[in-house]
Structures are given as structure tokens and as C-alpha cells.
Amino acid sequence: MTNATERTVVITGGTGGIGLQSAMGIARTGARVLVTGRDRGRGEAAQARLIEETGNERVQLVIGDVSSVGGVDALAAALTTRTERIDVLVNNAGYLGNEPSTSEDGLEMHFAVNVLAPWRLAQALLPVLRATGNARIVNITGGDKPAAVDVDNLMAEKGFRGLMTYTHSKSVMESMSMALSRELEPHGVSVNIVFPGRASTNMTRSLSSSGLPGAMKLMLPFFRLFFADDGGKSAAKAARSTIWAATTSDLDGVTGRYFDTNSKETKLHPTAYDPQVQRCILAAIEQATGGGAT
């Protein structure tokens, strides 16, 4: 990769939680960091904090919402007006819902934000990613250990199960990322997946009883205790693998890999590598978007 101070790094959902802490660590390397978020007030507060705590004046805020196709396209357009090159795209923005919800495009919300958005944003930003010659995309996963993809349940067709629907959407994203890595490799763009680990964030603290299926509801007091507000300490710890993936030279030329919370390479569930599974996911994305990237 280029010298740290010459890099431009984009991190979606970078105004809070693990995303904010990831932006903090990346900004400390001297890179230009563009953080995206939906709320301007929260975003401006995050930008000011990032600049103050890192001393990096090149932290910029870009407002955008990745919950819809139009929102992703608008964010991509806003980013390309700010920069002619992107060295690293960190797809960190995620969604965890307690109740069934659909996007303005009529898509199940976990699929829309956790699967379709990172795919479409990568495609829309491909011209500025290619401009670097060796750009990288880092997709942030979540949930538990790598699990199977059910191609008949990509948008909770078998029933909404809250936390489990979120976890499955991340498995779907992992398989999508394997397909994306193959597609973008000829363009000099790598795609890897990172699991940051569990942390107390606004998203995890929002989990309610309705978001837990069956007997898991009994575990809500444990979840509330485990994810109690800790002032960002667990989020800072969880962000270490993202910061590493965005900045290390160890990933130069490396693509289609998965790294755990300790930045150790490990394997995804076999379904993530299954070409038929990947084709089903890409078909669902194409149907949802009408086939185009922008």
C-alpha cells in the first residue's frame, strides 16, 4: 500500500461504536479518513472528537444512509465528489433489528444493509478504488462463529428471528464477499472479511426480548449485563482487527480471506465458498437492484 499519510480510507458507520473506534485507530496513522453516518449532529460530534483525539485534521464527515439502493448510490456519489481515489473501503455499517422491517425498496432490512449495501457500494466506488492500483475492501462481519448460509432464507422467508436473522445475514455477507473478491481481483482490488468481536455499542444495547427467539429470551438479562455501557472500552478492543486489516502491509495482494477478532486467518463455513450458494445470493442482489450497480 501507499505511505500511510497518502492513503484515503472510507469507513461506513464510522460515527459510533466499533466504527468510531476503528476510525480513531486509522486516523492515528495519519491517513485521510472519510467517515459516513446518517445523522449530521452525531456525525459532526464524532468528527470533532476524532480530530481532537488523534490530531488528524484530515478526518471528514460524509452524510449517507445505506439502508436503501438510492441511499447507497447517493453516498457513493457524495464520496466521489470528495476524493479521486480510495485506498481502503471499510464496510462497517450494520443493522440489527428486534422486529421485522423492510427497506424503502421492499427488502428485508438485514439483507438490505448487511448484504446488498456493501456489495453495491463496492461496485459504485470501483472507479476510485481502481485508481490506486492496489486498493482493499474490508467487510465487517458479526454474530457468532461462521455459520451456514440457507439460500431459501436470504430475507427471512422462513420467519423473522431477530438476533438469528442478523447472524444469518452476516453469513450471507461472508459468502457474497467471497464472490466479490473473485470479481474484483482482476481490477487490483482485494476483498477480505474481519470479525471484530463482541462489544457494547448502541446496536448491541438495543437488543430486546422481541429480538431473541424462543428460549433465548431467558438470556436477555445476561445480554444486558454483557453489553452494558462501558464508555467505549469493548468497542476499542473490538476495533483492533479492523484497524489492522485497513492498515497492515500483511494484506497486500491478499484477497478472499477471513480473519477473526485476533487478526488470525481462519475458515468460514463451507457454504460461504460454495459457487451455487454465491450464485443464489448474487441473483437475489441483482433482482433487488434491477441488475445495475449505479
| Residues classed as catalytic | 166
Pairing mode, if any, of strands 88-91 and 8-11? parallel
Say how far residue 205 (Cα) sits from the centre of its chain: 18
Q: Residue 8 in contact with residue 32, Cβ under 8 Å?
A: yes
Say how far residue 60 (Cα) sits from the centre of its chain: 19
Contacts of 229 (CB under 8 A, 6+ apart): 200, 205
- Would you list the DSSP string of 196-256? ------HHHHT--GGGS-GGGGGGHHHHHHHT---TTHHHHHHTHHHHHHHH-GGGTT--S
Decide: helix, strand or coil at residue 108: strand
Residue that is written with C-alpha cell 449485563 in the block: 225
Q: What angle do CA 202, 205, 210 make, to 5 degrees?
A: 125
Tell me the Cα Rg of the chain: 18
Q: Residue 75 in contact with residue 64, Cβ under 8 Å?
A: yes
